[in-house]
Each structure stands twice: as C-alpha cells, then as structure tokens.
Amino acid sequence: MDKDIPAHVGIIMDGNGRWAQKRGLVRTQGHLEGLKTAKKIVKAASDLGIRYLTLYAFSTENWKRAAEEVGFIMGLVKQYLRAEFDFSKKNKIRTRYTGDLSGLPQDIQKEINDSITDTSSFEGMQVVLAINYGGRDEIVRAVRRFASHNNKNGAEYSEALNKISEEDIGGYLDNPDIPDPDLIIRSAGEYRTSNFLLWEGAYSELYISDKLWPDWEKSDLESAITDYQKRERRYGGVKSA
C-alpha cells in the first residue's frame, strides 16, 4: 500500500441524503452519519501517509437546499471543528480552508479561522475543508485578486492583463502552496465534478464509487488508491518507452 501514495486526494462526499432516505430517516440524519465517516476517513488517510486531503463538504450551489438542512450542515461543521482539536493534535493534522469564507455565517467563519490558527504548527496531514466552495467561484476570486494586486494606471494595467498566465491565476487561487490533487474520489455513483477543484483537477485521476458516503470504510479508500496506482498518468504526452 505504501508505494506511490497520492500526495493530494480530494473527496466529493456524496450520498448522505440517499443513505438516510433508504432507511426512512430524514436527510439530516444522513449528514450526521456522513460526518462520522469523514472523521474515520481523515484518520485512515493520515495513517496511509496522504499529505493533503481536500473534503468537499458544502458547495456554492448547496444554498439552494432547505434552510433547515443548510443550518444543520453548518452546525455539524462547527461541532466537528470544536470536537476534533484533540484528535488533530494527537495526529498532527493541520486544518486548511478553500472557498468563499466571507459568505459563511460569522460563527462558522470564526470556528474555521480558530481551527486554522490552532493547528497551524502541526506537520502531519493537511485537511482542506471545502465549504461554500465552487471551482468557478475560486477562479473568479483568483482573477479579482490578481486585478487588485496589479492596480496600476490604464496602460500598465492592460499590459498586465494581456500577459496574465496560468501561473498568475494558479498563484492567486485559495491555496497555491498545495499541489494539485492526484486523485479525486466521488462516492454515491454520480459521474460529475459538481464544481469541485475545476482548475486544480485538470489532470487528476478520477475514481467513482457507487457506495454512499456514510457507508465508506478505510478499505474503500484503500481500493481507490490501489486503483489509482494502476493508472498511467500521461499529462497529454505519450507512454514512456
């Protein structure tokens, strides 16, 4: 298992609602179970030696859901960040964030910021929480940051814009120091990205599992990695001789 462990794995944790519906439970019950799974998978990923784990917890489109469901998910985020400090400390897990923090309720913003600060010296796995995250939104925010940092006079400004490069945009994304994901996993069998890591995922290997997120175990993560290890990554080139 330890050969070629992907440095960065992204997970689209999908299927909480279906898990609950199948059992005649309310959707929020599925989110509660999904949180337990997230904790289990964070530990498993850390034990496997993954360096960065990005968890897609709430998209910029998920606000369309009922206020009750949205509120419940926000409450879980808070509970998770509060309750997991000891676990993070023990396992040296550092909290990072991607998304539009300013669009989240104040108390959640504070909770996320506190967790980032409190874990900033931990040198184990980095868990990137994607909450109020959209890949398109991240690119728009990167371009806006580029524009505000190149706030020159008219001619110089248009010159800077004309020369804008992939490195420029990549450098203004939320976490430019984190390598692109090697592997993106989606649970619950949907064959789409749903706006996850559009820029960074350009050459990520994709792994889709039919299993609903609350049913995920460490062995499912291991299966995804074993599958990843069989892939040949070509990045548009040709098979090496």
Active site residues: 14, 62
What binding mask, one character per residue, do residues 59-88 give for ligand IPE by CB under 6 A, x or -?
A: x--x----------x---------------
Q: Output DSSP code: residue 4.
A: T
Q: Is 182 in the site for Mg ion (CB under 5 A)?
A: no
Phi (first) and psi of residue 129, to 5 degrees: -90, 120
| Tokens of residue 209, six digits | 């599992």
Q: Which is nearer to Mg ion, 18 or 92 (CB)?
A: 18
Q: Which is nearer to Mg ion, 69 or 180 (CB)?
A: 69
Number of shown-chain residues binding ligand IPE (CB under 6 A): 17
Strand-pairing partners, residue 56, are: 12, 130
| Tokens of residue 195, six digits | 């706006």
Q: Is there a contact between 149 and 118 (Cβ–Cβ < 8 Å)?
A: no
Q: Name the minimum Å distance from CB 17 to Mg ion.
A: 6
| Tokens of residue 135, six digits | 């890949």
Other beta carbons within 10 Å of 144: 11
Q: Is 12 in the site for Mg ion (CB under 5 A)?
A: no
Q: Is 15 in the site for ligand IPE (CB under 6 A)?
A: yes
Q: Which amino acid is at 129?
A: L
Q: Which is nearer to Mg ion, 14 or 137 (CB)?
A: 14
Distance of CA 101 to the CA centre of its chain: 14
Q: Which of 42, 48, 85, 25 is nearest to 222 (CA)?
A: 48
What binding mask, one character per residue, do residues 184-213 give for ligand IPE by CB under 6 A, x or -?
A: ----x-x-x-x-------------------
Near ligand IPE by CB under 6 A: residue from 32, 41, 42, 57: 57
Near Mg ion by CB under 5 A: residue from 9, 13, 14, 197: 14
The option from Mg ion, ligand IPE, none interacting with 192 (CB < 5 to 8 A, set by class) reads: ligand IPE
Of all residues in this chain, which one has the CB nearest to Mg ion in the complex? Answer: 14
Question: Who contacts 225 (Cβ-Cβ below 8 Å, separation ≥6)?
Answer: 1, 5, 6, 9, 48, 183
Identify the H or E element spanning 98: strand 94-98
Class of residue 147 by CB neighbours under 10 A (exposed 0-12, middle 13-18, buried 19+): middle
Q: Is 17 in the site for ligand IPE (CB under 6 A)?
A: yes
Q: Is 132 in the site for ligand IPE (CB under 6 A)?
A: no
Q: Which is nearer to Mg ion, 8 or 31 (CB)?
A: 31
Q: Name the minimum Å distance from CB 14 to Mg ion.
A: 4
List residues binding ligand IPE (CB under 6 A): 12-18, 56-59, 62, 73, 188, 190, 192, 194
Which residues here bind Mg ion, judged by CB under 5 A? 14
